[in-house]
Amino acid sequence: MAWVILGFAIITEVIATTALRHTEGFTRIIPTAITLLGYGLSFFALSRILNDIPLAITYAVWSGAGISLVAIIGWLWLGQKLDAGALVGIGLIIAGAIVINLFLSSVAH
């Protein structure tokens, strides 16, 4: 269940970060509300899983997945360009998350 909650934390953080682009300095109400709600939900979810997943693992997966997903959203929906270096970096982040999960049993809480 902790991994499902971590997935929720990642999704809400990505939504908040995507909405942040549209807040225009927190002057637009709806994008600002989405941003604040998304970050609030994300941090609440993170706080709920730290007894089940070690902090280092939680933060690595949360931030790595968030970075990768925001970059992909920027590319697919916002017309931002990803060069070869960005693609390699995203691949390394995903590989790192896989390695972390493979060796999770060796990490103490």
Share of the chain above pLDDT 70, in %: 94
Which of 105 and 80 is assigned the larger pLDDT? 80
Q: What is the pLDDT of residue 56?
A: 83
pLDDT at 28: 97
Residue bearing tokens 């970096």: 89
pTM, 2 dp? 0.84
List helix spans (H) across 21-83: 29-49, 55-77
**Closest to 94 measured CA to CA, from 71, 64, 63, 73:** 64
44-64 per-position pLDDT tens digit: 999 999 999 888 889 888 998
What pLDDT score does 78 carry?
86
Residues 22-40 have pLDDT tens digits of 999 999 999 999 999 999 9
Rounded CA gap, 75 and 30, in Å? 23
Q: Which residues contact 5 (CB under 8 A, 6 or more apart)?
A: 45, 48, 49
